[in-house]
């Protein structure tokens, strides 16, 4: 996808983090924006700031776990702008702890946003974008699904999150092949960021009541939360930088997008373990202090 001026971008999780930065770049490139999020106040703020800069913006609250809300988002986008060219299935949340300590509500919340949100986005918007292409011989489209390096690695105490993001990588690779199979003028990418300051470590503050878990967090869940907050807050790559790299990838039809390419050494080691049948290597082998802090926290020593 080379043409951004006057094209329409739909962005979920648009009120903060990567979504907000995608919107900022899109506005700078002259795109019309459909912004969706569950955080109404933050969404309104982002929309108002972009409108003040001259961007044409439609902002809607949307819980991507809910099929009917994603369908309503698509209908509103078409009613307002008549087409969709660029889709960011970006909304995401995080949860940690030993995998057997995750409650059913934890699984439903994280998989609902991280995986079902992408499923609904692909299911609803891809046919719509293909239909748009039928009526425009110059149509160019692209879909970006936000996964994570946790979609390529399996760090301990991140089980629910790991599962959701691995599924997004698989879904995205299949989407890429399916679009290519039919010769669609629509590209696909998967974004796999490492530790970037996006606010995801505080996503529990916006957890909906229907998947709320009022049980006291376990020691492993507390230790995982502390570790995540520290890792995210110390991240050297900004969400704005990742957004720029993402738009470059869209323009160049690059599928895999990374915030920290140096972390791919761990992915290579995991692939080698799979091929050779070796037991999984420690994802924190190069950072033993992280493993030690997690163990200390779980044992109550931290």
Enumerate the active-site residues: 161
**Are the C-beta atoms of residues 231 and 270 closer than 8 Å to each other?**
no
Q: 251 Cβ partners below 8 Å, 6+ apart? A: 1, 2
Name every residue whose Cβ is closer than 8 Å to that of residue 257 and which is 6 or more positions away in sequence.
Answer: 144, 189, 190, 191, 192, 242, 245, 246, 249
How far is it, in rounded angstroms, from Cα 88 to Cα 19?
A: 8
For 252-290, letters b (16+ CB in 10 Å) and e give: eeeebbbbbeebbebbebbeeeeeeeeeeeebbeeeeeb
Question: Quick one: tokens of 18?
Answer: 């990567």
68 CB contacts (<8 Å, ≥6 apart)? none
């Amino acid at each position: 996808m080379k043409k951004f001026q006057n094209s329409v971008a739909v962005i979920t999780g648009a009120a903060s983090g990567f979504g907000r930065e995608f919107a900022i770049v899109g506005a700078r490139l002259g795109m019309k924006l459909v912004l969706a999020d569950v955080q109404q106040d933050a969404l309104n703020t982002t929309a108002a700031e972009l409108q003040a800069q001259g961007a044409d913006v439609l902002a809607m609250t949307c819980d991507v776990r809910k099929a009917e809300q994603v369908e309503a988002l698509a209908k509103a986008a078409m009613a307002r702008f008549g087409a969709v060219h660029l889709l960011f299935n970006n909304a995401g949340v995080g949860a940690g702890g030993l995998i057997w300590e995750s409650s059913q509500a934890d699984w439903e919340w994280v998989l609902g946003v991280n995986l079902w949100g992408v499923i609904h986005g692909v299911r609803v918007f891809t046919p719509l974008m293909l239909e748009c292409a039928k009526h425009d011989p110059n149509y160019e489209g692209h879909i970006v699904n936000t996964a994570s390096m946790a979609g390529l690695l399996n760090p301990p105490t991140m089980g629910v999150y790991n599962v959701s993001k691995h599924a997004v990588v698989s879904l995205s690779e299949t989407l890429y092949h399916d679009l290519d199979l039919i010769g669609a003028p629509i590209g696909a990418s998967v974004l796999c960021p490492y530790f970037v300051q996006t606010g995801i470590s505080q996503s529990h503050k916006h957890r909906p009541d229907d998947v709320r878990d009022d049980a006291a967090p376990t020691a492993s869940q507390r230790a995982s939360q502390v570790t995540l907050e520290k890792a995210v807050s110390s991240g050297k790559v900004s969400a704005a930088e990742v957004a720029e790299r993402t738009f470059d990838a869209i323009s160049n039809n690059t599928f895999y997008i990374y915030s920290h390419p140096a972390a791919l050494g761990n992915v290579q080691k995991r692939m080698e373990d799979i091929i050779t049948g070796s037991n999984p290597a420690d994802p924190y082998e190069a950072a033993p202090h992280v493993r030690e802090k997690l163990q200390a926290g779980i044992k109550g020593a931290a």
